[in-house]
């Protein structure tokens, strides 16, 4: 059976404020209704989505994380924080006094060519900003 | 991603076009209008959500909206009703504007169904009573909400849609103009936050002939508080009275007292200092915190007691108990203050306060908190502070400090707040702070309202009254004539050491027409918030009529919101649920070290050195010649690289982290004489803080040299390379506190080289055998001093030997490590 609710009914069933429900819809966490404005109708699917989000937020998940989970991303085990004594070799590209670009190529998944391209790009941008400031100043 | 449109940097797709503020300052009142301009540049129908701050004392009085050439005004309704009106407007395709207040008293504006290409101007009107403190007045307009530590919904009480969002790339222009009238014109006016133009112009519409106009002298953005400071104000209480236009026969009196206390001897202070070293304090803020702390230390004397702690994720106490303000302790504190870094991560303020309160101290202490206040879980902190019964004094630091949170903390504990903008002189704030802490407490304060009037309702006095700090209170009075309202109002109280009750301030209110009923609305607002936030002791009977009071006086509160609905003509209505466009706040200038605010405006911030950019590894020494790009290894783990490097040995230096290189390098430079550290084994190294901490991490010393370690090093290294300065002692990893002790206790006024030499001489004569290393019980008897050395050397060596009497192979004497606590 397919029951349809108005937004206010849906809010009562989920026990959530109307503003919050509409926010979830606008954020894409809950599907948009069938029909628009006055004629908008919500069904069991919407209610289930809301109850799931409610459960997850109560468990302390952020809305960003919930969005990822809803989008079907793995509930991956969070990366372990680095252990003391872990050695990490990163490169610091010196751009100007006080400006450095820190790259850990293996974690960033960049090829040497890409790293060079990035470095050149950042340097060029810095020069452009400086040159502009000089002409303006 | 349509969402991304909001974030583009070039401005075209931003919904918020800019903010303009226009205000008028007269007497103790600031009357301000904030104009927010929105434009929907997209082809879709949108709903705008904007969470923004207002000053803590601001009372929002009105909303005016310009939409499609029409000017409309909003109305305050019960919160539930306002929400339902708004939702209905949206679902019917009309336009609604809703302003609600959040738990931290920031505001959220919702502007729904702004159709494609439409513009909308929102004007918010607020009034604020100004609070001069000791002849100085600070007027602040916050413009952005900096990121706060903690969960905005769980800890900060925000509704999901209202959570403030921040972007490091958006830019919104900001303008402000203030007209200053009355006696404030004579004050010294300046802005520590912005370049301003101050000019005197003929006044319009007032009794005076001149007024002062303050406006911005350079382009500004919504990225830092606007601060205007008035100095050298005359100390004078001021009052206003008017009829309440909503209640016939009721008058309202606003009394701004400037209390004057009898001159007393200054009291010693007992304060626990707690400095925020969380990541958000990085950059300008920690610099300001350091200078504030140095100034605070300058004022301490022998009679004062204090402790020093810093916190982030964890809390670190410099001393185990409170120190006397003796020279050694102060010198140790200065060194500690100099080294403050914002390197402790998060902001676990509650834990830090609990831990600090637990430090042994006097029966009643003051807590001095130096912070940017960027936390969500303020309720817990305020509750902890209240239960301690200690007074909390706060120095708020940063370009966009969380004023409201800090004010609450200070107010509810009977302390006070001072704010310092980046680059601002910290001196006046610290002087005022001490003036309060060293003054005797004022107790049993009460107000004598005008004779002949019957009190209908009067606001509570704050927890503490300080000399020269304004106290603003309101009363609603039954009075038969306006003249009765202008009779004398007195602030009375008792001061320790003075017989009986004394009058701290007195004033006669000036009767005004007040057609807008502003005074009555301000009085209602103060009553609302005082009762709302009051503890459970307040009878429910008093709290029950609050929503009604808020609606009657049209105040935006926890129970009420501002709402405006514009019905659209048939055919011009929105056809679908609007897309959401959350206005992201600009990242506060200088927040967490994001650029510096203190840089003089207009000067280039970066020195150009773009020729031959160098690629370096982070752990290498700062050698300047590493211009050769390193080999990028993309698909291999760093650990594998290191092993290779170690095996190969012939690879360039900079591919191996320096600490792994140490051994081969020493071999390479065998002929050059260098300091030879003792082996990385347990007896030679001690931990810097707790005993249980691991001294060696993967074979690398993690602490400092133990006495045996130093002795061993001295034996291995030729005399010519022994350290000669405190800095060099640091270089060989001697425990920092031992160096401090040398500098502060032994070396006071003595040449550095002599002190270091004497110390190493004494240590060199010690002999820790293996057995002693194990038991730590035996000491070498020192051989008599060399006949050839100077009297100063002998004297120094003598006092050092004495202080080191309790030395053991693996531990420095307690008296040395806790030198600042000695002599208490």
Q: Does B579 touch chain A (CB under 8 A)?
A: yes
The b/e string for A35-62 (b: 16+ C-beta within 10 A; e otherwise) is: eebeebbbeeebbebbeebeebbeeebe
Cβ contact B580–A23 (<8 Å): yes
Chain A interface mutation, best of B618, B694, B695, highest count of A Cβ atoms under 10 Å? B618
Q: pTM (2 decimals)?
A: 0.78
Using CB atoms, pick whichever of B159, B607, B614 lies closest to residue A97.
B607
Cα gap B683→B773, rounded to integer Å: 7
pLDDT for B207 equals: 76
Based on DSSP, count helices (H) and strands (E) in chain B, helices before strands. Answer: 20, 40
Q: Which residues of B touch A63 (CB under 8 A)?
A: 160
Q: What pLDDT sits at residue B815?
A: 82
Judge whether residue B73 has pLDDT over 60: yes
pLDDT of residue B151: 86
B606, A97 Cβ separation under 8 angstroms = yes
| Helices A7-14, A18-26: inter-axial angle, 10-degree rounding | 110
Residues of A in contact with B604 (CB under 8 A): 130, 133-134, 137
pLDDT band at B111 (very low <50, low <70, confident <90, very high): very high
Q: Is the pLDDT of residue B180 over 70?
A: yes
Across B451-474, average pLDDT: 93
For chain A, the maximum distance between any two Cα atoms, rounded to a whole number of angstroms, is 70
Interchain pair B617, A87: CB under 8 A: no
Cβ of A94 within 8 Å of Cβ of B698? The answer is no
The answer to whether residue B651 scores a pLDDT higher than 90 is no
Helix (H, G, I), strand (E, B) or coil at B376: coil
List chain A residues with CB under 8 Å of B639: 87
Q: Which among B92, B602, B616 has the least Cβ separation from residue A94?
A: B616
Q: What is the pLDDT of residue B769?
A: 62
Nearest residue on chain A to B606, judged by CA atoms?
A97
CA separation for the pair B472, B452 (Å, rounded): 22
Between A112 and B73, the more confident residue is: B73
Label residues B410-446 b or e (16+ Cβ within 10 Å = b). Answer: bbbbbbbbbbbbbbbebebbbebbbbbbebbbbeebe
CB contact under 8 A, B83 and A20: no
High-pLDDT (> 70) share of chain B, %: 84
Which residue of chain B comes nearest to A136, CA vs CA? B602
pLDDT at B672: 66
Tell me how far apart the alpha carbons of residues B571 and B548 are, in angstroms, rounded to a whole number.
38
**A 29-48 residues inside an 8 A Cβ radius of B:** 32-33, 36-38, 40
Q: Find, among B3, B52, B10, B168, the residue nearest to B593 by Cα.
A: B168
pLDDT per residue over B394-422, tens digit each?
999 988 888 888 999 999 899 999 999 88
Judged against a pLDDT cut of 90, whether residue B368 lies above it is answered with yes
* CB-closest option in B151, B580, B632 to A115: B632
Question: Could you tell me which chain B residue has the CA closest to the CA of A135?
Answer: B604
Distance between B79 CA and the closest CA of chain A, angstroms: 12
**A119 neighbourhood in chain B, CB within 8 Å:** 613, 615
pLDDT at B8: 46
- Tell me the fold of A7-70: Multidrug-efflux Transporter Regulator; Chain: A; Domain 2 (1.10.1660)
How does DSSP classify residue B185?
A: G
- 8 Å CB contact of B159 and A19: yes
Using an 8 Å CB-CB cutoff, list chain A residues near B85: none
Chain A CB within 8 Å of residue B232 CB: no
In B142-225 the beta strands, taken as DSSP E runs, fall at 166-167, 173-180, 188-190, 196-202, 210-216, 220-221
B471-500 pLDDT, tens digit each: 999 999 999 999 999 999 999 999 988 889
- Nearest chain B alpha carbon to A18: B87
Please give the Cα distance from B646 to B792 (Å, whole number). Answer: 49
Nearest CB neighbour to B602, from listed A20, A63, A137: A137
Please give the interface size between A and B, counted as residue pairs whose CB atoms are below 8 Å apart.
125
B47 in contact with A at a CB cutoff of 8 Å? yes
**If you average pLDDT over residues B623-635, what whole number do you get?**
32
Contacts of B93 in chain A (CB under 8 A): 37
- The CATH architecture annotation of domain B2-235+557-586 reads Sandwich (2.60)
Q: Is the ipTM of this complex over 0.90?
A: no
Kindly state whether A23 is in contact with chain B, defined as any CB-CB distance less than 8 angstroms: yes
pLDDT of residue B478: 96
Q: Residue B686 and residue B67: Cα distance in Å, rounded? A: 71
Domain range B270-437, its CATH number among 3.40.30.10, 3.40.50.410, 3.40.50.300, 1.10.10.10:
3.40.50.410
Cβ contact (<8 Å) for A18 and B575?
no
CA angle B278, B419, B319 (to 5 degrees): 50
Between chains, do B615 and A137 touch, taking CB under 8 Å as contact?
no
Domains in chain B: boundaries: 2-235+557-586, 238-262+441-551, 270-437, 682-821
Residue with more model confidence, B821 or B87: B87
Chain B contacts of A14, Cβ < 8 Å?
none
Higher-confidence residue of B553 and B263: namely B553
B566: closest CA among B556, B554, B574? Answer: B574
Query: To probe the interface with B, which of A9, A10, A19 has the most B CB atoms within 10 Å?
Result: A19
| B326: Cβ contacts below 8 Å, ≥ 6 apart | B302, B820, B823
What's chain B's Rg over C-alpha atoms?
32
Place of tokens 């002998």: B794
Name every chain A residue with its beta carbon within 8 A of the beta carbon of B617.
89-92
Nearest-by-Cβ selection for A106 from B573, B616, B633: B633
* Record: contact A87-B639, CB cut-off 8 A: yes
pLDDT digit string, tens, across residues B282-337: 888 898 999 999 999 999 999 999 999 999 988 999 887 888 898 888 988 998 99
**Hey, do B2-235+557-586 and B270-437 end up sharing a CATH topology, with the first three levels equal?**
no
Note which residues in 65-124 of chain B have CB less than 8 A from chain A: 83-84, 87, 91-93
* pLDDT, greater one: A90 or B547: B547
pLDDT band at B31 (very low <50, low <70, confident <90, very high): very high
Please write the tens of the pLDDT for every residue from B240-254.
999 999 999 999 999
Pairing state between β B315-317 and B579-582: unpaired
Angle between helices B638-648 and B658-668 (to 10 degrees): 0
pLDDT of residue B704: 84
- Nearest Cα residue to B129 out of B53, B63, B55: B55
Reduced to 3 states (helix: H, G, I; strand: E, B; else coil), residue B81 is helix
Tokens standing for B231? 């100095």
Query: Which residues 629-648 on chain B approach chain A with CB closer than 8 angstroms?
Result: 630, 632-639, 641-642
Q: What residue has token string 């997850």?
A: A56
Q: Does B624 touch chain A (CB under 8 A)?
A: no
The burial class, CB within 10 Å (0-12 / 13-18 / 19+), for B514 is middle
Alpha carbon of B464: minimum distance to chain A alpha carbons (Å): 39
Helix axes B327-338, B284-298, angle to 10 degrees: 170
Query: CATH number of the domain at B238-262+441-551, please?
Result: 2.60.40
The answer to whether B161 contacts A7, with C-beta atoms less than 8 Å apart, is no
| Helix or strand holding residue B66 (H, E) | strand B58-67
Per-residue pLDDT of chain A (137 residues; tens, 9 = 90+): 456 899 989 999 999 999 999 999 999 999 999 887 778 899 999 999 999 999 998 888 888 888 888 877 665 555 555 555 556 667 777 788 878 888 776 677 777 778 888 888 888 888 888 888 777 64
What is the nearest CA distance from B10 to chain A, expressed in angstroms? 14
Q: Do B632 and A112 touch (CB under 8 A)?
A: yes
Q: B657 touching A, CB under 8 A?
A: yes
Chain B residue with the nearest C-alpha to that of A124: B610
Chain A hits for B633, CB-CB cut-off 8 Å, are 105-106
In chain B, residues 302-341 whose CB comes closer than 8 Å to chain A: none
| Residue A27 contacts B, CB cutoff 8 Å | yes
Half-sphere exposure of B134 (CA within 13 A, CB side): 16
Alpha-carbon distance B336 to nearest alpha carbon in chain A (angstroms):
25
Domain ranges for chain A, please list them: 7-70, 91-136
pLDDT of B609 above 50: no
Q: What is the pLDDT of residue B627?
A: 33
| Contact residues, chain A, for B609 at CB < 8 Å | 96-97
């Amino acid at each position: 059976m397919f029951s349809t609710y108005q937004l206010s009914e849906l809010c009562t069933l989920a026990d959530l404020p109307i503003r919050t429900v509409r926010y979830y819809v606008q954020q894409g966490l809950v599907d948009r209704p069938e029909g628009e404005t006055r004629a908008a109708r919500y069904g069991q699917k919407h209610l289930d989505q809301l109850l799931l989000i409610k459960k997850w937020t109560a468990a302390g998940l952020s809305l960003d994380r919930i969005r990822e989970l809803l989008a079907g991303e793995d509930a991956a085990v969070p990366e372990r924080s680095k252990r003391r004594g872990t050695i990490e070799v990163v490169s610091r590209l010196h751009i100007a006094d006080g400006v450095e670009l820190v790259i850990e190529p293996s974690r960033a998944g960049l090829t040497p060519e890409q790293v060079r391209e990035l470095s050149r790009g950042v340097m060029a941008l810095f020069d452009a900003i400086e040159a502009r400031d000089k002409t303006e100043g | 991603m349509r969402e991304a449109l909001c974030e583009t940097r070039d401005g075209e797709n931003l919904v918020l076009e800019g903010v303009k503020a226009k205000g008028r300052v007269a007497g103790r009142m600031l009357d301000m209008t904030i104009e927010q301009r929105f434009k929907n540049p997209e082809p879709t129908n949108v709903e705008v959500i904007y969470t923004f701050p207002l000053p803590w004392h601001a009372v929002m009085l009105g909303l005016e909206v310009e939409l499609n050439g029409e000017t409309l005004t909003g109305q305050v309704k019960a919160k539930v009703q306002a929400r339902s009106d708004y939702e209905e407007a949206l679902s019917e395709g009309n336009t609604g504007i809703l302003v609600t207040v959040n738990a931290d008293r920031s505001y959220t504006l919702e502007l729904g169904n702004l159709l494609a290409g439409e513009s909308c101007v929102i004007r918010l009107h607020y009034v604020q009573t100004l609070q001069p403190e000791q002849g100085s007045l600070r007027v602040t307009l916050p413009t952005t909400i900096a990121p706060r530590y903690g969960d905005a919904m769980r800890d900060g009480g925000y509704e999901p849609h209202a959570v403030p969002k921040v972007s490091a790339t958006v830019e919104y222009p900001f303008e402000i103009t203030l007209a200053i009238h009355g006696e404030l014109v004579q004050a010294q006016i300046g802005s520590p936050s912005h370049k301003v133009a101050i000019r005197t112009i003929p006044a319009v519409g007032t009794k005076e002939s001149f007024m002062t106009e303050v406006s911005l002298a350079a382009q500004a953005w919504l990225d830092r508080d606007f601060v205007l400071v008035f100095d050298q104000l005359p100390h004078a209480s001021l009052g206003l009275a008017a009829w309440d236009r909503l209640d016939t026969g009721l008058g309202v009196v606003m009394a701004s007292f400037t209390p004057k206390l009898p001159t007393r001897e200054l009291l010693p202070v007992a304060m626990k200092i707690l400095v925020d070293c969380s990541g958000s304090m990085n950059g300008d803020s920690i610099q300001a915190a350091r200078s504030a702390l140095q100034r605070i230390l300058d004022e301490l004397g022998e009679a004062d007691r204090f402790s020093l702690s810093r916190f982030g994720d964890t809390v670190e106490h410099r001393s185990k108990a409170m120190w006397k303000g003796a020279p050694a302790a102060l010198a140790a504190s200065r060194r500690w203050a100099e080294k403050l870094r914002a390197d402790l991560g998060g902001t676990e303020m509650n834990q830090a306060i609990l831990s600090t309160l637990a430090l042994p101290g006097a029966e009643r202490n003051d807590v001095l908190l130096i912070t940017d206040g960027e936390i969500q879980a303020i309720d817990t902190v305020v509750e902890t502070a209240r239960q301690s019964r200690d007074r909390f004094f706060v120095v708020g630091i940063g370009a966009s400090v969380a004023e409201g949170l800090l004010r609450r903390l200070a107010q509810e504990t009977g302390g006070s707040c001072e704010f310092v903008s980046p680059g601002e002189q910290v001196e006046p704030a610290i002087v005022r702070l001490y003036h309060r802490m060293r003054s005797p407490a004022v107790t049993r304060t009460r107000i004598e309202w005008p004779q002949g009037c019957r009190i209908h309702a009067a606001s509570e006095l704050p927890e503490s009254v300080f000399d020269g700090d304004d106290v603003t209170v309101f009363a609603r009075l039954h009075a038969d004539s306006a003249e009765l309202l202008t009779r004398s109002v007195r602030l009375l109280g008792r001061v320790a050491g003075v017989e009986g009750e004394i009058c701290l301030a007195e004033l006669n209110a000036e009767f005004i027409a007040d057609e807008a009923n502003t005074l009555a609305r301000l009085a209602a607002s103060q009553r609302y918030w005082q009762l709302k936030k009051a503890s459970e002791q307040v009878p429910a009977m008093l709290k029950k009529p609050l929503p009604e009071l808020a609606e009657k006086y049209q105040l935006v509160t926890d129970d009420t919101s501002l709402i405006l609905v514009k019905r659209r003509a048939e055919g011009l209505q929105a056809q679908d649920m609007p897309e959401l466009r959350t206005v992201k706040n600009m990242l506060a200038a200088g927040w967490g070290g994001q650029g510096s605010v203190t840089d003089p405006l207009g000067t280039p911030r970066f020195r150009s050195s773009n020729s031959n950019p160098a690629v370096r590894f982070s752990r290498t020494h700062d050698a300047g010649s590493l211009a050769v790009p390193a080999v990028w290894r993309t698909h291999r783990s760093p650990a594998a690289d290191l092993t290779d490097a170690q095996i190969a040995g012939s690879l360039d230096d900079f591919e191996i982290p320096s600490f792994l290189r140490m051994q081969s390098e020493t071999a390479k430079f065998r002929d050059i004489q260098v300091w030879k550290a003792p082996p990385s084994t347990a007896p030679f190294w001690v931990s810097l803080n707790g005993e249980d901490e691991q001294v060696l991490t993967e074979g690398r010393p993690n602490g400092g040299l133990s006495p045996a370690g130093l002795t061993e090093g001295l034996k291995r290294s030729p005399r010519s390379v022994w350290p000669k300065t405190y800095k060099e002692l640091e270089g060989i990893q001697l425990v920092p506190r031992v160096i401090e002790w040398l500098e502060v206790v032994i070396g006071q006024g003595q040449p550095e080289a002599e002190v270091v030499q004497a110390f190493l001489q004494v240590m060199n004569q010690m002999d820790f055998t293996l057995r002693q290393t194990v038991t730590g019980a035996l000491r070498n008897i020192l051989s008599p001093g060399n006949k050839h050395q100077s009297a100063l050397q002998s004297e120094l060596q003598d006092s050092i030997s004495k202080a080191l009497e309790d030395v053991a192979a693996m531990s420095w004497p307690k008296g040395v490590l806790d030198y600042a606590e000695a002599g208490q």
